[in-house]
Amino acid sequence: MGEPEPTVHEGQFHRVEVHADHVVCHPRTPAAAARLPRRSALLRTVAGLGLGVHTPEPIAELADPPRLVLTRVPGEPLPPEALASPAVLASAADQLAALLARLATAPATDVPRQPATHWRDFADAVTAELYPSMSPAGRARADAELAALRALPALDTAVVHGDLGAENLLWEWHAGLPVLTGVIDWDEVALGDQAEDLAALSASYGPELLAALRPSPAVAARAATIRGSFALQQALAAQRDGDADELADGLAGYR
């Protein structure tokens, strides 16, 4: 018998084939294809950070068509409804807190640093590239969200995953409790503000998990501001990649 058919996942930038012992990432747009060498280099850097969990490692970069072959990370995403159990919530929060602590202290010499103007640059880009597609009410909503972003301090105090949502955290179950086995999709990794990762965790798992992680009031406030920009982040990336479906989804609340 041959290898079973791979499981296929459709992401914003890649179509991902999950095989028994490896993963193949097929870029969905020419822009995503052009980023494959950088993605491979970043994954090699992340593998050296000593995060205590599995991360994908490059096996091969192939052309015609362009694609990236990676090691398969064990585990599956944790359904948000699983956190309704207090024991599961506590276990997941403890492990995520440990991961965040390691990200905050990782030897990140080779990790790119977000520029001090990161959020201001993003806000300016949204204004220039997305406002023409918004309604007046949508622009007013975006104005408020972008003003809050522009007021964020420029921080580079931790390695930030950049998309630490439920789909990128892989778990296995042992004795009725989840064990964090791996973290995938490190395309946006950078030195920045850990509130960005807390925003993604909150968006995926809800306020109960964020409360269990016990961020300071200032960090929680920054996370809420960043979370409020997620639709615009999706839309801007889609605009630049020429992805009409993701653009329409991201701008749905601004038209």
**How many CB atoms are closer than 10 A to CB 116?**
12
**From 156, 163, 187, 249, active-site residue:** 163
8 A C-beta contact, residue 11 and residue 23:
no
Omega within 30 of 0 (cis) for the link into 65: yes
**How many CB atoms are closer than 10 A to CB 81?**
8
Return d(Cα 91, Cα 181) in angstroms, integer: 13
Q: List C-alpha distances in Å: 148 to 27, 31, 38, 229, 237.
A: 33, 29, 31, 9, 20
Helices (H) and strands (E) in the chain, counts: 10, 9
Q: List C-alpha distances in Å: 219 to 32, 114, 124.
A: 32, 18, 24
* DSSP sequence for 131-185: GGGS-HHHHHHHHHHHHHHHTS-----EEE-S---GGGEEEEEETTEEEEEEE--
163 catalytically annotated: yes
Known catalytic residues are: 163
